[in-house]
Amino acid sequence: MSNEVSVSSEKVQIWPIMISFLISGFIGMFSETALNIALSDLMEIFHITPSTVQWLTTIYLLTFGILVPVSGFFMKRFTTRQLFVTSLLFSVAGFAAAATAPSFEVLLAARVGQAIGSALLLPLMFNTVLLIFPQEKRGTAMGIVGFVIMSAPAVGPTLAGFITESMSWHWIFWISEPFLILSLLCGLRYMRNVSVITKPKIDVLSVVLSTIGFGGIVFGFSQAGEVLDWTSAPVMIPLIAGSAALCIFSLRQMALKQPVLNLRVFRYPLFTLGILLVILCMMVILASVILLPIYLQEGLGISMILAGLIMMPGGIINGIMSQVTGRLFDWIGPRGPVISGALLMTAVVFLLSRMTADTSPVFVIAMHSFLMMGTAMVMTAAQTNALNQLPHILYPDGTAIMTTLQQVAGAVGTALGMCFLSVGQQAYLAVHEAGADIQAASVAVGTQQAFSFLTLVSAAALVLSLFIKSSKR
């Protein structure tokens, strides 16, 4: 494939642009999970409680959930180059502030800057890929993007663990900073505007409703995953307020001539089907990423670093399979990869629901690797096929909606996974006397309950996959 394409009468060099996006995208997704490994150290350094330190994760997800839905508006209002540079400036500033943070408050503000950078960058990256690659090459391109997006958060905790143990948590951000600067310089040199700028008027009420809606839902489910009490005010109030605001937001978008987020993308059945598959996959992926380390450490008594190493092969395989699936998509279309991936995912999740306190770590490595292989096949093919259904004018809205719902699905999957884990664990402890192995056994039972729920989620994805059409067009 030629390195140059013509977009809007302007020569665009594809691969320098892709490299700029991939580097910054990797660092952005890496930072989403990398800091989790250092939360215990941060509690001691800043003298804060677990509920306080958790805000470093919550504020990232919350900012992401607020900004991504309106990213479609930004892509219609500003050029590709303007948004790319803005996103990188926020990321560079956020990482620099985090690396030098003298207090928890400064670190929290830095996380907001990092989240703004990623929230602007990811939808822009997907939209740009759709515009600079011809349809027959999009599967390969999306596979490369998937390799970066999926492998970065998977290897983040492991890499961060080594960095933290050998140096300090500050170096998680110092090491990332040169890559962001390199990406920014590359973008300044090669980035071009490839989208159609329509400059729609901003509807302030829509933005407010979107902020309350998506922000409330992401925050509510994030809190549910932390406090494990679905009836508590910190969970119910944001969920109810978010759901109500989201309903009003949706009705308003359908009535506006220039909506902030064009929900008419859901009139395309295969786009909607792809969205549903992506949502179910993200629930399984993010819940598994939380559940398996807990099971390995508390159920099998494995150290944090070793648990991270056990999880790493799956993350790498997920990234590789994203690229392989992309090529398969260009060759045979979406149906084969999606159905095969959903079948593999369902079988593996069912086997994970059979784990006990005596399960071998080798079994976990194998099952997690196969799980990541299956989810990569579904995600890459379903995403690409869904976005291919849309006309060019709806690409910004489609990418914004897909990225937003991935974050929401991740929050929902994590919260429900932790809920089932806790319920199963407490039920076991209630009927067994205290003993040396009782805690490990209770974690194993809770893990079984959580993966039994995820089996149902995977089975739903398998059923939906059967409706994918065989044609790649």
Say how far residue 286 (Cα) sits from the centre of its chain: 8
DSSP annotation of 297 reads I
Span 239-256, mean pLDDT?
91
Fold matches, 1-200 and 267-473: yes
pLDDT given for residue 472 in this prediction = 45
Report the residue count for the chain: 473
- Higher pLDDT: 286 or 236? It is 236
pLDDT tens, residue by residue, 367-391:
999 999 999 999 989 988 998 899 8
Q: Sort 112 into a burial class: Cβ within 10 Å, 0-12 / 13-18 / 19+.
A: middle
Residue 265: is its pLDDT beyond 80?
yes
- The pair of structure tokens assigned to 192 is 């071009």
- pLDDT of residue 247 exceeding 90, the answer is yes
pLDDT higher at 110 or 311: 110
Rounded CA gap, 394 and 371, in Å?
A: 32
Distance of CA 410 to the CA centre of its chain: 7
Q: What digits encode the pLDDT tens for the residues 116-158?
A: 999 899 889 988 888 888 888 888 888 888 777 777 777 777 7
Checking if the pLDDT of 326 tops 50, the result is yes
Most confident option among 25-39, 80-94, 222-236, 245-259: 80-94
* Mean pLDDT within 229-255: 88
Residue 276 in tokens:
């549903």
What are the residues facing 6 on neighbouring strands? Answer: 11
- Is residue 155 within 8 A of residue 315, CB to CB? The reply is yes
Residue 96: both structure tokens together: 């620099």
β-partners of residue 13 are 4
- Homologous superfamily of 267-473 in CATH? MFS general substrate transporter like domains (1.20.1250.20)
Instruction: Please determine, for residue 462, whether its predicted confidence score (pLDDT) is greater than 90.
Output: yes
Mean local confidence (pLDDT), 163-182: 88
The CATH number corresponding to 1-200 among 1.20.1250.20, 1.10.10.10, 3.40.50.300, 3.90.1150.10 equals 1.20.1250.20
Average pLDDT estimate for 445-449: 92
- Residue 286 is given by DSSP the state H
Q: Give the integer Cα–Cα distance in Å for 149 and 179.
A: 16
- Residue 464 has a CB neighbour count (10 Å cut-off) of 18
Tokens of 217: 């839902």
Task: Choose the weakest-confidence range: 94-98, 421-425, 432-436.
Answer: 432-436
CA 221 from centre of chain: 15
pLDDT given at position 225? 64
Residue in 83, 65, 66 with CA at minimum distance from that of residue 74 = 83
**For residue 470, is pLDDT > 70?**
no
Say whether 4 sits in a helix, a strand or coil.
Answer: strand
Q: Please tell me the distance from the alpha carbon of residue 339 to that of residue 308, in angstroms, as a whole number.
A: 30
**CA 212/CA 374 separation, integer angstroms:** 34
Question: 10 pLDDT exceeds 80?
Answer: no
Instruction: Assign 3-class secondary structure to the chain.
Output: CCCEEEECCEEEEHHHHHHHHHHHHHHHHHHHHHHHHHHHHHHHHHCCCHHHHCHHHHHHHHHHHHHHHHHHHHHHHCCHHHHHHHHHHHHHHHHHHHHCCCCHHHHHHHHHHHHHHHHHHHHHHHHHHHHHCCHHHHHHHHHHHHHHHHHHHHHHHHHHHHHHHHCCCCHHHHCCHHHHHHHHHHHHHHCCCCCCCCCCCCCHHHHHHHHHHHHHHHHHHHHHHHHCCCCCHHHHHHHHHHHHHHHHHHHHHHHCCCCCCCHHHHHCHHHHHHHHHHHHHHHHHHHHHHHHHHHHHHHCCCCHHHHHHHHHHHHHHHHHHHHHHHHHHHHHCCHHHHHHHHHHHHHHHHHHCCCCCCCCHHHHHHHHHHHHHHHHHHHHHHHHHHHHCCCHHHHHHHHHHHHHHHHHHHHHHHHHHHHHHHHHHHHHHHHCCCCCCHHHHHHHHHHHHHHHHHHHHHHHHHHHHCCCCCCCC
Per the CB < 8 A criterion, the answer to whether 284 and 375 are in contact is yes
Where in the chain are the domains?
Answer: 1-200, 201-259, 267-473
